Amino acid sequence: MDRIDKYRRVEEDQLQGKGKAKVIPQERRDFRLDRYNSSRPWRDFVGQSGSADAQVVNAIFREPVQQPHDDTLVVTLRIGGYDVRRVMVDQGSAVDVMYPDLYKGLGLKPEDLTTYNSPLVSFEGRMVAPKGLIRLPVQVGTDVVDVDFIVVDVFSPYTAIMGRPWLHTLKAVSSTLHQKVKYLSGGQVLEIVGSQAAARQCLVAAIQHRLEAETSARTDNEL
């Protein structure tokens, strides 16, 4: 519980990028659910000038973060036309995952999903049967990537996990240490800034959920 109390006191960090980069607009690809189109402004995007050479994607992440830390990389992304918070970027995930909060928030229904039968392994090591698969656009700045989300019906403090398929399609480099995702677009090095406060809030929620589950299990065993 000391860990929970520690992170409850963490206030929202004020991570801000420096400068802006002009991005060459790209044609937006068609996707199934046109009802998710939205003109709401993008807020968690920061641009930084850079060389068109592909190697600049590996440029040093210089901007300061709260150090030392072991936070996950949690960002806000525009998914299906909506700004979605609590999205975890995980290089260790071989799939892009959608959790119940986002599934319900987007108003999705079972008929919107296509069949996906391969089981997944949860953070607790349990086998999870997916509800199905859905393709939605994920936007960063003016760049749009169509992503196949595997929808699961299990608890998670995150709304979604963006794994290697999204990172590789975007040709992005992510860093949990520096709390950023950087990628090339229109000859510029652009970046998405993570929120350490959001990452710690998700950690607190995960710990609380586990404690509640363990308490409930003990109660059931005593009955």
Euclidean distance between CA atoms 99 and 159, whole angstroms: 5
Greater model confidence, 133 or 26:
133
**Interval 149-182: pLDDT, tens:** 999 999 999 999 999 999 999 999 999 999 999 9
Residue 144, CA distances (Å) to 79, 86, 119, 137, 178 in order: 10, 19, 28, 6, 24
Q: Which residue has the higher pLDDT, 207 or 34?
A: 207
214, 201 in Cβ contact below 8 A? no
pLDDT grade, residue 113 (50/70/90)? Answer: very high
Please tell me the CATH superfamily of domain 17-194, with its number.
Answer: Acid Proteases (2.40.70.10)
Q: Is pLDDT above 80 for 7?
A: no
